[in-house]
Amino acid sequence: MMTPHVHDLDGCAPAPLAHYLKALGVMRLVAEQADSEARGWWEGERFRLLTRLDSDELERFFLEQYQPTPLASPWNKGSGYFYPNDPGLSPVEKSTAHRFAPLRDGVKDGRLLLGELEKADRDVRSIKSEVKGKEDKAQKQILKESKEYKERLARAERKFKSLKTDLIPRIRLMWRGPHREWMDAAMVLLDDGTPKFPALLGTGGNDGRLDFTNNFFQRLNEVFDLNNADGHPRPFAKSWFAAALWGSATLGCQHGNAVGQYLPGMAGGANSGNGPDADSLLNPADFLLMLEGVILFNVNTTRRLGASHGSSRAAAPFVVGAQGAGYASAADSDESSRGEQWMPLWSQPMTLGELRHLLAEGRAQIGAKAVREPLDMARAITRLGVARGITAFQRYGYIERNGQSNLAVPLGRFSVPEQVVPYTACLDDLSAWLPRLRLDARDTKTRKAPHRLKLVEHRLTEAIFAVVQHPNEAACWQAILLALADVEATLVSGTQHRCGFIPRLRPEWIHAADDGSPEVRLAVSFALQASQLRRQGKIPVDSVRRHWLAAKNQETAAVMAGRSGMDDAIALVERRLIEAGQKGQRRLPLVAARRAAAGLSDLAALVSGEVDLDRTLALARAFMAIDGQAWAAAPQPPQSPGITNWPDDAWLAIRLAMLPWPLPDGRCIHVDPAIVRRLASGDAASAVELALRRLRAAGLRPTVRMGMASLQTARLWAAALAFPISRNTAKYMVRRLDPNTIQS
């Protein structure tokens, strides 16, 4: 029995993309050509390989036994099939080593299908050469502008394009074997025969003028002596493969060779060296192993559910649209049509067959809906758990950088939670609303969206990205709620929008955001209160949300502006007193929802200035979207510390004078709206005097005789009236102010 060896491949890391793909290439080649029982997995920032080959045998395998996969792209002009003595194809065709036989067969199969296409290409080049043959610039211009020349060139190009379009379906029909695997990774044919290309391989195996297959053949010729009968490695080959596998330093890396999108740090260009500009730097073995790994990412066709005309798209494993959010350098310009790809990292040893199955299944869904955007992908990750052994995803965006070059830019690591966090289901409440909001915020057609809406939408997206990575942190959930409140404030300010306001939220949002602070508890009591409760005192009727988001024909009721927490709280109290007076009622119709009344300790902190009232009201505006009936059926109040502190007795007198219902013993304390007006103007002494007069008229004998407070404190006392109390709390207040009273 062979002794297994575990190799730490320090040259194979999750980032950049070239090194990730290189790890998969190493695993695929070893499993297919040397050890079918080989297994691989990720640990930290390296790939680990379990195989019967020791380190020397592993290096010898790549140097002496490795059979390169025939990567043939005859549909690309830059692949070399259309040019005699091509530097990439010709050495491969002339090679004699047995292990390069699949390469020669792939090139041969590619040439067999060209025929007319090569002739059509020669015709196009022949017509264009007529212009190049003219020495006089004026004659060149006359020829290029002539009608006869344009018509001949157009006919030749149309014929070439037509033959090229027919070529791809014929290749797909006739090809079998390893070179077909490359085609399946490079493109997919839709129902009408139109090819679609995954961003991982550019546009069918090339990126601009860089053809991946031709460069693959060129790198092979640099690593191996293709003219040798055994395909011996060249002098630097051992050092190159050692660097590719073990991450060791190496000499002989090449300058100026094409790197492609996979290795942004080595692509050269501005600021990539000691001087203002620098050439690319490439280890040829990295390039070979990288493309060997790409083959595992086969594509197929998926239909967008609900899309018009049953349109289809090319789907590669874990590919979503681009979104400029969730990473430090995010910008709108990053949202290219190439999208993003999230590469899985797994922690348990996996065979090649298991890896193929994982990537073949590489579709993320939320419920029955396939994800389309990175934000949805991040949400889907939080629901995976570790059942499949995936511990994280490395996010890559195919983004324009360095001028017009498209590069695979690492956009961060998203960890898979060890267990599904129940709170993440709360984000489902926003699923249908978020895409509509994004369309409104990025309205480039009518350009009616204000810049502020775009900013707050971006901040909301960033907050959701943060919460899917830290679902147990209340601060992250609060950041979402605050961003939602800002979005609504922007929409309320008069912005034309189609998305609507915050949709109905489930009560679990409160538990998710509960950090034990008085701000959260007070925000809940403020947001869920109403004018009354029905069905055995459970379901709120006439919630306060209409004072923030006015219903049609009730614009005058919207008295909350969303700028100052204190002003909004006072405005709510004053408006409710006006409405009660219009109905002939002498009460403050603000009744706490079931198990959502404000506690005495929190009210004490509020009236003493220890509570951030602006934050409290911002959270409350978001909590107003909580489903009242769902709360009534199963309230989930935040944790409360109980009574640890009491508000000032003078304020207790004011609070008792502003109740929405009679005392438990039946005594009614008729509300005097002047109390709130005096407090709002800063006159606490007069407000306390009026409140005591109301209490005495109801038969109470409070021990407090007067009250004094600064202008700011007086206004805080008025704002505190917007936070409803329970009947039991009112009973405690009566006992404190009038110990001799008897209550039922």
Mapping DSSP to helix (H, G, I), strand (E, B) and coil, where does residue 15 land? coil
Instruction: Report the number of distinct structural domains present in the chain.
Output: 5
For all residues of the chain together, what is the average pLDDT?
86
Mapping DSSP to helix (H, G, I), strand (E, B) and coil, where does residue 206 land? strand
The DSSP 8-state label assigned to residue 420 in this structure reads -
Do residues 700 and 734 touch, judged by C-beta distance below 8 A? yes
Do residues 704 and 737 touch, judged by C-beta distance below 8 A? yes
Q: Give the integer Cα–Cα distance in Å for 16 and 401.
A: 15
Is residue 455 domain-resident? yes
Do residues 525 and 598 touch, judged by C-beta distance below 8 A? yes
Q: What is the pLDDT of residue 307?
A: 39
The verdict on 404 and 317 lying in the same domain is: yes
Mean pLDDT over 327-341 rounds to 72
Q: Give the integer Cα–Cα distance in Å for 468 and 383.
A: 10
Is residue 84 domain-resident? yes
Q: Give the integer Cα–Cα distance in Å for 733 and 735.
A: 5
Mean pLDDT over 156-185 rounds to 82
Residue 611 pLDDT > 50: yes
The verdict on 403 and 445 lying in the same domain is: no
Q: Which backbone phi and psi does 617 adopt, to 5 degrees?
A: -70, -30
Do residues 577 and 657 touch, judged by C-beta distance below 8 A? no
Q: Which backbone phi and psi does 7 adopt, to 5 degrees?
A: -110, 130
pTM of the entire predicted model: 0.82
Q: What is the pLDDT of residue 660?
A: 95
Q: What is the pLDDT of residue 274?
A: 45
Identity at 564, one-letter amino acid code: S
Sequence-ordered alpha helix ranges (H) in 470-586: 474-492, 508-513, 518-528, 565-582
Q: Give the integer Cα–Cα distance in Å for 14 and 21.
A: 9
Question: Is the Cα dihedral 607, 608, 610, 614 positive or negative?
Answer: positive
Q: What is the pLDDT of residue 508?
A: 95
Q: What is the pLDDT of residue 270?
A: 47
Is residue 151 domain-resident? yes
Lowest mean per-residue pLDDT among 84-93, 181-190, 347-356, 438-447: 438-447
Sequence-ordered alpha helix ranges (H) in 470-514: 474-492, 508-513
Mean pLDDT over 364-387 rounds to 73
- With a pLDDT cut of 70, the percent of the chain lying above it is 88
How far apart, in Å, are the Cα atoms of 53 and each of 7, 588, 695? 9, 81, 90
Is residue 541 domain-resident? yes
Q: How far is CA 490 from the centre of its chain?
A: 23
- ∠ at Cα 506 (500, 507), nearest 5°? 130
The verdict on 625 and 567 lying in the same domain is: yes
In sequence order, the 6+-apart residues with CB closer than 8 A to the CB of 743 are 663, 664, 665, 731, 734, 735
Q: Which backbone phi and psi does 102 adopt, to 5 degrees?
A: -60, -35
Can you say whether residue 205 is alpha, beta or left, with left for phi > 0 and alpha for psi between -120 and 50 degrees? left
Q: What is the pLDDT of residue 350?
A: 95
- b or e along 103-138 (b: 16 or more beta carbons within 10 Å of the residue's beta carbon)? bbebbebbeebbeebbebbebbeebeeeeeeeeeee
How far apart, in Å, are the Cα atoms of 364 and each of 281, 298, 342, 424? 36, 16, 10, 16
**Band of the pLDDT at 365, cuts 50, 70, 90?**
low
The verdict on 709 and 626 lying in the same domain is: yes
Q: Give the integer Cα–Cα distance in Å for 53 and 60.
A: 10
Residue whose structure tokens are 């790197």: 259
Q: What's the alpha-carbon Rg for the chain, to the nearest Å?
A: 36
Q: What is the pLDDT of residue 724?
A: 97
In sequence order, the 6+-apart residues with CB closer than 8 A to the CB of 386 are 347, 416, 418, 419
The verdict on 593 and 660 lying in the same domain is: yes
The verdict on 487 and 412 lying in the same domain is: no
Identity at 88, one-letter amino acid code: G
Q: What is the pLDDT of residue 308?
A: 36
The verdict on 416 and 438 lying in the same domain is: no
Q: Give the integer Cα–Cα distance in Å for 280 and 272.
A: 9
Q: Which backbone phi and psi does 506 adopt, to 5 degrees?
A: -80, 155
Other beta carbons less than 10 A from residue 192's beta carbon: 6
Q: Which of 30-34, 145-149, 699-703 has the highest mean pLDDT?
A: 30-34
Mean pLDDT over 294-301 rounds to 80
Mean pLDDT over 356-369 rounds to 75
DSSP per-residue string spanning 458-476: HHHHHHHHHHHHSTT-HHH
Mean pLDDT over 730-738 rounds to 93
Q: Which backbone phi and psi does 324 adopt, to 5 degrees?
A: -80, 70
DSSP per-residue string spanning 82-123: TSTT-TTHHHHHH---GGGHHHHHHHHHHHHTTTHHHHHHHH
Q: Give the integer Cα–Cα distance in Å for 683 and 223.
A: 88
In sequence order, the 6+-apart residues with CB closer than 8 A to the CB of 65 are 33, 34, 99
Surface-to-core class of residue 737, CB atoms within 10 Å of its CB (0-12 exposed, 13-18 middle, 19+ buried)? buried
Q: What is the pLDDT of residue 332?
A: 64
Q: Give the integer Cα–Cα distance in Å for 243 and 249.
A: 6
More confident residue, 172 or 311: 172
Do residues 653 and 737 touch, judged by C-beta distance below 8 A? yes
Domain region containing 191: 77-234
Mapping DSSP to helix (H, G, I), strand (E, B) and coil, where does residue 150 land? helix
Residue 305 pLDDT > 60: no
Q: Give the integer Cα–Cα distance in Å for 724 and 744.
A: 21
Mapping DSSP to helix (H, G, I), strand (E, B) and coil, where does residue 413 land? strand
Q: Which backbone phi and psi does 233 adopt, to 5 degrees?
A: -70, 150
Is residue 53 domain-resident? yes
Q: What is the pLDDT of residue 303?
A: 44
Is residue 341 domain-resident? yes
In sequence order, the 6+-apart residues with CB closer than 8 A to the CB of 721 are 569, 573, 588, 590, 654, 655, 658, 676
The verdict on 185 and 56 lying in the same domain is: no
The verdict on 403 and 450 lying in the same domain is: no
The DSSP 8-state label assigned to residue 309 in this structure reads G
In sequence order, the 6+-apart residues with CB closer than 8 A to the CB of 122 are none
Tokens of 646: 């009491």
> What would the pLDDT profile of 217-270 be if each residue is shown by its tens digit?
999 999 999 888 888 999 899 999 999 999 998 777 765 566 778 888 665 554
The verdict on 469 and 558 lying in the same domain is: no
> What would the pLDDT profile of 135-150 be if each residue is shown by its tens digit?
777 777 878 888 888 8
The verdict on 689 and 647 lying in the same domain is: yes
The verdict on 162 and 221 lying in the same domain is: yes
Q: What is the pLDDT of residue 319?
A: 86
Show which of 183, 215, 234 is a domain's final residue: 234
Peptide bond into 16 cis (omega under 30): yes
Is residue 473 domain-resident? yes
Using alpha carbons, select from 687, 431, 715, 464 the residue that is nearest to residue 566.
715
Provide the greatest CA pair distance for the chain.
Answer: 115
Is residue 132 domain-resident? yes
Q: What is the pLDDT of residue 58?
A: 97
Do residues 589 and 532 touch, judged by C-beta distance below 8 A? yes
